[in-house]
């Protein structure tokens, strides 16, 4: 899924039924190509937060 690694400047280019906001995009767990190749799924957590 392209939305896992690239956030378009215009929301309409997400081409999703329920587009996500930039805040949601930035909190999502980063998934690379192997994630999908190996048919992994995220159970918990769906978001991450790093505090420095």
Give the model's confidence band at 52: pLDDT under 50 very low, under 70 low, under 90 confident, else very high. confident
Q: Which domain holds residue 50?
A: 1-52
* pLDDT tens digits along 18-49: 999 999 888 888 888 898 899 998 887 777 77
Output the pTM of the full model. 0.64
What's the sign of the alpha-carbon dihedral 22, 2, 9, 30? positive
Evaluate whether 47 touches 27 at the Cβ level (below 8 Å). yes
> How many domains does the structure of the chain reveal?
1
């Amino acid at each position: 899924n392209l939305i896992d690694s690239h956030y378009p400047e215009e929301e309409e280019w997400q081409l999703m039924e329920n587009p996500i906001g930039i805040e949601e995009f930035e909190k999502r767990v980063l998934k690379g190509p192997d994630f999908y190749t190996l048919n992994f799924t995220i159970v918990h957590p769906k978001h991450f937060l790093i505090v420095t």
